[in-house]
Amino acid sequence: MTYTAAVSGATGYAGGEVLRLLCGHPEIEIATVTAHSSAGQRLGALQPHLHALADREVVETTAENLAGHDVVFLALPHGQSADVAAQLPENTVVIDAGADHRLASAEAWRAFYGSEHAGTWPYGLPELIVSPEGSKQRDQLTGATRIAVPGCYPTGSLLALAPAVAAGLVEPQDIVIVSASGTSGAGKSVKPHLLGAETMGGMSPYGVGGGHRHTPEIEQGLGWAGGQDVSVSFTPTLAPMPRGILTTATARLRSGVDAARVREVYDAAYGTEPFIHVLPEGQWPTTKAVTASNHAVLQFAVDPHAGRLIVSAAIDNLTKGTAGAAVQSMNLALGLPETTGLTGQGIAP
C-alpha cells in the first residue's frame, strides 16, 4: 500500500531532510510540499539536491493544503505547529518536528518557551528506554496518529545516558552534558554569527548556564528512564561543520559499578537495535561516521579517579536527530517495518 505525505517547512533544513528520506521510501508518495515566504517557487530552486522533486511548486502552509494526506510532517519553528495540527483530521498521522508537543510539563514549556503549552504527544524516539524495567518508547508509537519528534541535542544525550540511568548505574542528580553541533542545527535563516567567516576555524558555547531550551527535554527523558527526577547541566557548543552532533555526557557512578557492568547494560539495551551501535572497546565515535544516516554510535569509559561514567555519542543532527526519527516513527505509526526507507549507511570521506 502506498501512503500520501505532505511536508510543511519543505524549504528548511529539517523539511528538506524529511523529503530526501521520503524520496527513497518505497511506501510513500510525496504529494504536497509547503512553506511560507517561499510559496509559489520551484522546490528545485530552494532545495537543489532534491532532483526528483525539482519541478514541484511550493504552496502555502495552511491546514487546507495539508489536509487529505495520510501523513503530514510539520517542520516548522516552535510555536507554529500547534495551530496547524489542531485543524487536521484525527486519523491523519501528524509528525511534529518542532518543539510544540515534546514536553509533558506545561510549567517547563512556559519557562523555556514563554508561551502557553499546546499539549503533549507521544515522543518520537523509538529506542529510548522509558522505565527502570527497560521498556522502550516504540510501544507508544505503534499506531499513533500524533507524534512529537525529539530535538537533536536530546536525541544524542538520551541515547547516551538512558541505559545507565534506567539500570541505576549512576546518580540522577549529578549529570553533566556538553554537545557540539554543526551549524545546520540553528536552521536556515541568515544569521551573522553563522556565516562561514564567523564559524570556520573556531568553536563557541551558547545557551550556557541552564538556559538552553532542550534542557527540560533531556531531563524529562532521563526522568522517564530512571523513574525519578534528574538534574542536568547542559552546555551546547557550535562546531565549524555543517551537520552532526558529538555529545559527551558524564554522571557520577554508584558504588561497585565497573566497566564490565556498564558494557553489560549497554549491550542489553542496544544489542538488537538496528540504528544504535555500541562500539568495540578502544573505538570512539566520530560525527563523520554517521553523516546523512539514521545511525548513532556510542562509546563509554569509566573514570575511577573521578568516579564518573563518560559516554560519547555521535549522530547526524538532521537525520537521526530530526528527519530520520520522524520517518522511523512514521513507519511504526503506519505498521510498516521500522527500518523502511532508512537503511542508508554513513558516507565517507
Pairing between β-strand 146-148 and β-strand 59-60 as defined by DSSP bridges: unpaired
Task: Give the 3-state secondary structure percentages of the chain, helix then strand then coil, rounded to 5.
Answer: 30, 25, 45
Amino acid letter for position 249: A
Phi, psi angles (nearest 5°) of residue 147? -140, 135
Do the beta carbons of residue 87 and residue 117 sit within 8 Å? no
**152 catalytic residue (yes or no):** yes
Q: At what angle do helices 152-166 and 259-270 cross, to 10 degrees?
A: 120
**What 3-state DSSP class applies to 60?**
strand
Nearest to 244 by CA among 300, 332, 312: 312
Do the beta carbons of residue 147 and residue 95 sit within 8 Å? yes
Compute the residue count for the chain. Answer: 349
- 180's enclosing H/E stretch is strand 170-181
Query: CB under 8 Å to 339, separation ≥6 — which residues?
Result: 274, 275, 328, 331
Strand order in the sheet with 71-74: 59-60, 28-35, 3-8, 71-74, 93-96, 146-148
- 302's enclosing H/E stretch is strand 296-303
| CA–CA distances in Å: residue 139 to residues 102, 209, 226 | 17, 35, 18
Q: Considering 30, 84, 152, 245, which one is annotated as catalytic?
A: 152
First to last CA, the chain: 37
C-alpha cell recorded at residue 226:
530512571
Q: Which residues are catalytic?
A: 152
